Protein backbone atom coordinates (compact mmCIF):
# COMPACT_ATOMS: atom_id res chain seq x y z
CA UNK A 1 0.00 0.00 0.00
CA UNK A 2 1.31 3.44 -0.98
CA UNK A 3 1.01 6.58 1.07
CA UNK A 4 0.11 9.89 -0.62
CA UNK A 5 0.56 13.38 0.81
CA UNK A 6 -3.01 14.52 0.15
CA UNK A 7 -4.44 11.67 2.29
CA UNK A 8 -1.93 11.98 5.12
CA UNK A 9 -1.39 13.71 8.46
CA UNK A 10 1.30 13.18 11.09
CA UNK A 11 1.36 13.08 14.86
CA UNK A 12 4.51 14.02 16.77
CA UNK A 13 4.07 12.55 20.24
CA UNK A 14 5.49 14.04 23.43
CA UNK A 15 8.82 15.51 22.29
CA UNK A 16 9.08 17.21 25.69
CA UNK A 17 11.81 18.90 27.71
CA UNK A 18 11.94 16.54 30.69
CA UNK A 19 11.22 13.38 28.71
CA UNK A 20 13.56 13.56 25.71
CA UNK A 21 16.90 13.65 27.59
CA UNK A 22 16.05 10.25 29.12
CA UNK A 23 15.58 8.59 25.71
CA UNK A 24 18.20 6.22 24.39
CA UNK A 25 20.18 8.01 21.64
CA UNK A 26 18.08 11.16 22.03
CA UNK A 27 20.32 13.30 19.80
CA UNK A 28 19.79 10.97 16.82
CA UNK A 29 16.05 10.76 17.60
CA UNK A 30 15.77 14.56 17.50
CA UNK A 31 17.86 14.81 14.32
CA UNK A 32 15.80 12.17 12.47
CA UNK A 33 12.52 13.63 13.67
CA UNK A 34 13.51 17.14 12.57
CA UNK A 35 14.21 15.81 9.07
CA UNK A 36 10.87 14.01 8.93
CA UNK A 37 8.88 16.97 10.25
CA UNK A 38 10.70 19.48 8.04
CA UNK A 39 10.02 17.30 5.01
CA UNK A 40 6.36 16.93 5.93
CA UNK A 41 6.15 20.70 6.17
CA UNK A 42 7.65 21.04 2.68
CA UNK A 43 5.03 18.57 1.42
CA UNK A 44 2.17 20.42 3.18
CA UNK A 45 1.32 17.39 5.32
CA UNK A 46 -0.43 18.63 8.49
CA UNK A 47 1.18 17.76 11.83
CA UNK A 48 -0.40 17.54 15.27
CA UNK A 49 1.89 17.81 18.29
CA UNK A 50 1.04 16.32 21.67
CA UNK A 51 2.26 17.04 25.18
CA UNK A 52 1.81 14.59 28.04
CA UNK A 53 1.08 16.45 31.29
CA UNK A 54 3.08 19.57 30.32
CA UNK A 55 2.97 20.96 33.86
CA UNK A 56 5.20 18.10 34.99
CA UNK A 57 7.05 17.06 31.82
CA UNK A 58 7.49 20.44 30.17
CA UNK A 59 6.91 21.92 26.75
CA UNK A 60 7.90 20.68 23.30
CA UNK A 61 11.69 20.91 22.89
CA UNK A 62 12.76 23.90 20.79
CA UNK A 63 14.47 21.68 18.18
CA UNK A 64 11.10 20.13 17.30
CA UNK A 65 8.94 23.20 17.85
CA UNK A 66 10.94 25.32 15.42
CA UNK A 67 10.22 22.91 12.53
CA UNK A 68 6.53 22.58 13.48
CA UNK A 69 5.67 26.22 14.13
CA UNK A 70 2.26 25.92 12.43
CA UNK A 71 1.27 22.66 14.12
CA UNK A 72 -1.57 22.48 16.60
CA UNK A 73 -0.50 21.36 20.09
CA UNK A 74 -2.86 19.04 21.98
CA UNK A 75 -2.32 18.39 25.68
CA UNK A 76 -3.18 14.99 27.10
CA UNK A 77 -3.18 12.96 30.28
CA UNK A 78 -3.86 9.59 28.67
CA UNK A 79 -0.99 7.64 27.14
CA UNK A 80 -2.83 7.22 23.84
CA UNK A 81 -3.31 10.52 22.06
CA UNK A 82 -6.77 9.28 21.12
CA UNK A 83 -7.84 9.60 24.77
CA UNK A 84 -7.61 13.39 24.47
CA UNK A 85 -10.81 15.02 23.25
CA UNK A 86 -8.82 17.95 21.81
CA UNK A 87 -6.62 15.56 19.84
CA UNK A 88 -9.51 13.40 18.62
CA UNK A 89 -11.40 16.49 17.46
CA UNK A 90 -8.36 18.00 15.71
CA UNK A 91 -7.57 14.72 13.97
CA UNK A 92 -11.14 14.27 12.79
CA UNK A 93 -11.18 17.81 11.33
CA UNK A 94 -8.14 16.98 9.18
CA UNK A 95 -10.11 14.25 7.38
CA UNK A 96 -7.05 12.17 6.51
CA UNK A 97 -6.94 8.37 6.31
CA UNK A 98 -3.18 7.84 6.72
CA UNK A 99 -1.37 8.82 9.90
CA UNK A 100 2.40 8.98 10.31
CA UNK A 101 3.53 8.58 13.92
CA UNK A 102 6.77 9.66 15.53
CA UNK A 103 7.72 10.45 19.11
CA UNK A 104 8.19 8.93 22.53
CA UNK A 105 7.94 6.53 24.12
CA UNK A 106 7.67 3.90 21.41
CA UNK A 107 6.31 1.17 23.68
CA UNK A 108 3.85 3.38 25.58
CA UNK A 109 2.30 6.51 24.05
CA UNK A 110 3.29 5.86 20.44
CA UNK A 111 2.17 2.22 20.54
CA UNK A 112 -1.11 2.91 22.33
CA UNK A 113 -1.89 5.72 19.88
CA UNK A 114 -1.15 3.39 16.96
CA UNK A 115 -3.43 0.70 18.39
CA UNK A 116 -6.30 3.14 18.89
CA UNK A 117 -5.88 4.69 15.43
CA UNK A 118 -5.85 1.24 13.83
CA UNK A 119 -9.01 0.30 15.74
CA UNK A 120 -10.63 3.49 14.41
CA UNK A 121 -9.89 2.55 10.80
CA UNK A 122 -6.82 4.68 10.11
CA UNK A 123 -3.79 3.38 8.22
CA UNK A 124 -0.86 3.91 10.54
CA UNK A 125 2.72 4.43 9.39
CA UNK A 126 5.26 4.44 12.21
CA UNK A 127 8.54 6.15 11.37
CA UNK A 128 10.70 3.74 13.33
CA UNK A 129 13.81 5.91 13.27
CA UNK A 130 11.77 8.79 14.68
CA UNK A 131 10.52 6.94 17.76
CA UNK A 132 12.38 6.40 21.00
CA UNK A 133 12.27 4.83 24.43
CA UNK A 134 14.53 4.97 27.44
CA UNK A 135 15.70 1.42 26.80
CA UNK A 136 16.50 -0.15 23.41
CA UNK A 137 14.59 -3.36 24.20
CA UNK A 138 11.41 -1.40 25.02
CA UNK A 139 11.66 0.43 21.69
CA UNK A 140 12.28 -2.82 19.81
CA UNK A 141 9.37 -4.54 21.54
CA UNK A 142 7.07 -1.57 20.87
CA UNK A 143 7.95 -1.59 17.17
CA UNK A 144 7.48 -5.35 16.96
CA UNK A 145 4.06 -5.14 18.59
CA UNK A 146 3.00 -2.23 16.36
CA UNK A 147 4.05 -4.24 13.31
CA UNK A 148 2.10 -7.31 14.46
CA UNK A 149 -0.99 -5.23 15.12
CA UNK A 150 -0.98 -3.75 11.61
CA UNK A 151 1.01 -0.53 11.76
CA UNK A 152 3.40 -0.19 8.83
CA UNK A 153 6.98 0.41 9.92
CA UNK A 154 8.96 2.85 7.84
CA UNK A 155 11.83 5.34 8.08
CA UNK A 156 11.83 9.09 7.61
CA UNK A 157 13.64 8.87 4.28
CA UNK A 158 11.40 6.11 2.94
CA UNK A 159 8.31 8.05 4.01
CA UNK A 160 9.42 11.38 2.56
CA UNK A 161 10.38 9.97 -0.84
CA UNK A 162 7.16 7.96 -1.05
CA UNK A 163 5.14 11.10 -0.29
CA UNK A 164 7.26 13.06 -2.77
CA UNK A 165 6.47 10.55 -5.55
CA UNK A 166 8.66 12.20 -8.24
CA UNK A 167 11.81 14.24 -8.73
CA UNK A 168 9.60 16.72 -10.58
CA UNK A 169 7.80 17.65 -7.36
CA UNK A 170 8.37 21.25 -6.21
CA UNK A 171 9.53 19.85 -2.83
CA UNK A 172 12.18 17.53 -4.34
CA UNK A 173 15.17 19.84 -3.76
CA UNK A 174 14.09 20.52 -0.19
CA UNK A 175 13.61 16.83 0.63
CA UNK A 176 16.88 15.84 -1.09
CA UNK A 177 18.72 18.46 0.93
CA UNK A 178 17.15 17.30 4.18
CA UNK A 179 18.11 13.63 3.82
CA UNK A 180 21.78 14.24 2.93
Domains and CATH numbers, the chain: 5-175 (3.40.50.850)
| pTM exceeds 0.95 | yes
85: left (phi over 0), alpha (psi -120 to 50) or beta: alpha
170 burial type by CB count under 10 A (0-12 exposed, 13-18 middle, 19+ buried): exposed
pLDDT band at 63 (very low <50, low <70, confident <90, very high): very high
Q: Is the pLDDT of residue 1 over 90?
A: no
**Which letter does DSSP use for residue 3 in this model?**
-
At residue 81, φ and ψ (nearest 5 deg) are -60, -30
Q: Please, are residues 46 and 83 in contact by the beta-carbon 8 Å criterion?
A: no
pLDDT tens string 83-142: 999 999 999 999 999 999 999 999 999 999 999 999 999 999 999 999 999 999 999 999
For the chain, the average pLDDT equals 96
Amino acid sequence: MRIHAEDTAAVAIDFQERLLPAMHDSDELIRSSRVLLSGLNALNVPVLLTRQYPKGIGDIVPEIREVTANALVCDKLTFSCCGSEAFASALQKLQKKNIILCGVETHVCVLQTALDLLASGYKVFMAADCTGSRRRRDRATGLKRADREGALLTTYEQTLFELLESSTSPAFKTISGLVR
